[in-house]
Amino acid sequence: MGDVLISLDKVGVCYRRAQGFFKSAKSDFWALESLTLQIPEGETIGILGRNGAGKSTLLRLIANIIRPDRGKITFRPKLCTTLLSIGVGSHSTLSGRENAVLNGMMLGATKQHMMKSLERIKEFSELGDFFDEPIYTYSSGMAARLGFATALEVDPDVMLIDEVLAVGDSSFQHKSATALKNRLKSGKTAVLVSHDPRTILDLCSSAVWIENGVALAEGKADVVAKQYEKFMSSGAPHPAIIPSV
């Protein structure tokens, strides 16, 4: 096990629900109750859980987008963690080339790095001459290919992946999934969120199962995935989301 890059110590995140002026104020909702987790260098950690379990909130914490309302999260200094997202902050009047630079910078890469990566992005995205056309002329598949190729060139210290593993048509889906798998297997530190235990089993070395903002199980990916599957197939009712006081 490598150095710990990110460590979460009993973190909780609270959302204040949208309120009208005249409504009572007691509607805090803890999306994460108390979670302790360590992310060691070079490992791919899977986060399992149902919809509303707190997975996305956890990713936002790790991506340093929000701070916990209680508990503590520590990052190794100068750590770059980025959610692998497709086409974030893109601008429809800019060309594919310009958007690749812009998206890359949004995801944490420097301008110089993106300029150097442009040819690889052009090739991987299979856009050909469209690469220099404004992206409002793109089909949604083309935009997704550009976004994926760009995100792949950004090389953060910790890569965060939220469900999306495949974009585009079936041949590009295969190509993008393979590229991503290779990246993960090559010793990239990553956190992968999914509600599908098979994905986790396939790609992760260890896993955490969260439910209602707390970790129910933690350990080797195969063990946790099995527990989760058993729980799900037992037809457990979806527990009501109870706002804590």
Binding site for other proteins (CB under 8 A): 13, 15-16, 18, 60, 63-67, 78, 80, 82-83, 85, 88-89, 91-94, 98, 101-102, 105-111
Tell the smallest beta-carbon distance from residue 88 to other proteins (Å): 5
CB of 124 to other proteins, least distance (A): 21
67 vs 174, beta carbon nearer other proteins: 67
- What distance in Å separates the CA atoms of residue 17 and residue 28, rounded to the nearest whole number? 6
Beta carbon of residue 110, minimum distance to other proteins (angstroms, whole number):
6
Min CB(72)–other proteins separation in Å: 14
Task: Taking each helix axis as running N to C, give the angle between helix 111-125 and helix 96-106, from 0 to 180 degrees, rounded to the nearest 10.
Answer: 130
Shortest approach of other proteins to residue 42 CB, angstroms?
Answer: 22
Structure tokens at 40: 């060691």
Radius of gyration of the chain (CA): 19
- Residue 160 pairs with which residues in a beta bridge? 83, 191
Q: In terms of CB distance, is 42 or 108 closer to other proteins?
A: 108
Task: Give ∠ CA 80-81-85 in degrees, rounded to 5.
Answer: 125
CB of 226 to other proteins, least distance (A): 32
Q: How deeply is 245 buried, as exposed, middle or buried, from its count of CB atoms within 10 A (0-12, 13-18, 19+)?
A: exposed
Q: Which is nearer to other proteins, 11 or 107 (CB)?
A: 107
Which of 15/231 has CB closer to other proteins? 15
Judged by beta carbon, residue 103 or residue 206, the one nearer other proteins is: 103
Residue with smaller CB distance to other proteins, 37 or 151:
151
Contact 35, 214 (CB under 8 A): yes
Q: Which is nearer to other proteins, 133 or 218 (CB)?
A: 133
Q: How far apart are CA 48 and CA 217, in angstroms?
A: 10
158-162 and 81-83 strand pairing: parallel
- For the chain, list the strands marked E by DSSP: 4-16, 28-40, 44-48, 70-75, 81-83, 158-162, 189-194, 206-211, 214-220
Q: How far is the CB of 155 from other proteins (least distance, A)?
A: 12
